[in-house]
Amino acid sequence: MIEEFGDAEGIGVVDETGFLKKGVKSTGVQRQYSGTAGKVESCQLGVFLTYATAKGHTFLDRRLYLPERWCEDRECCEEAKVPADVGFATKSELATAMLRHAWRQGVPMRWVTGNKVYGEARALRQAVAESGRWYEFAVGVQNGLWLTRPEVGVPAWKGIGGKPHKARVLDESARPVRIPALVATWPESRWQRLQVAAGEKGARVYDWACQRIVESQDQMPGRDSWLLVRHSMSKPHERAYFLSNAPPDTALLALARVASTRYTIEQCFEEAKGETCLDHHQVRYWSSWHRHITLSMMAHAWLAWLRLRRNQKKGGQNPAWPR
């Protein structure tokens, strides 16, 4: 992947997909929400890392999500041949582990993106920022933020029992603003209509707007970031919100392009399930799942390489890559 698809502007995309199962013996299976089914079903969940550049998009890594119930039932784990040192990890923690592994392997990557499941994980955002890379994650409307960085300090007066207070925002009126409340104040002139990628049904066109803000972390100011908002033209009440630690001089078009690249992982899932049997397995054991999924990913990478060669002969780039 590094040799054929590597690009300094590469984008790592994280997401999970479900594998529907009727039995109860397959590793990690339980009733849980599956985007594949669009509801709570008996299924396994796999967390994946894909890689998107102007040359193509395909898989980099995978992790089988093992729910807490499974981790607490060692007899069940032993029957499914789960290694003894495997414990519970959230989906965002699995994504962080895959990203760090890819970075150690030298995968060139400028950006990391994902949906709200991963965007709400501050530890994941912190890991990307500490690596010197830029994240752009979808987040929920409940998140608060500041337009300007509030003053933080330790009050001079003592607390109960004479104990000193911890650092806090000194101006009690300077509270974080919720995202929808801020966006409601934006003038029409802030919005720009942009076509950033070609979808299955034609051009993907949305209204976009952004503003520099200060993230809120446990009611304390965090890092300076971008708030990016995507507004659907066909569904006026549908909006998506993103936080990004990209530099202050980053253009709106660049932010919109990265946000639009997230759907390439959905293409990877669809292609792999349809062409390389990603979900066509009847295995119960931990190692069996990883072997099958790895072979499917390798086959998908080979098909992506063939597509790259075809596009190069035609003098074009990855049709799914945002322009």
Asked if 102 contacts 62 with a C-beta cutoff of 8 angstroms, the reply is no
**Greater model confidence, 153 or 223:** 223
Q: Which of 16-20, 95-99, 279-283 has the lowest mean pLDDT?
A: 279-283
Taking the C-alpha atoms of residue 173 and residue 146, their distance in angstroms, rounded to an integer, is 12
Domain positions in the chain are 1-115+262-323, 139-249
pTM: 0.91
Q: What is the CA radius of gyration of the chain?
A: 22
Taking the C-alpha atoms of residue 138 and residue 305, their distance in angstroms, rounded to an integer, is 29
Give 137's pLDDT tier (boundaries 50, 70, 90): very high
**Greater model confidence, 311 or 295:** 295
H helix intervals, 55-169: 68-72, 74-79, 91-104, 116-119, 122-130
| pLDDT greater than 70 at residue 267 | yes
Tens digits of residue pLDDT in 182-234: 999 999 999 999 988 665 556 678 999 999 999 988 778 889 999 999 998 88
Q: What are the structure tokens assigned to 266, written together?
A: 């959905």
| pLDDT greater than 90 at residue 61 | yes
Mean pLDDT of the 251-272 span: 95
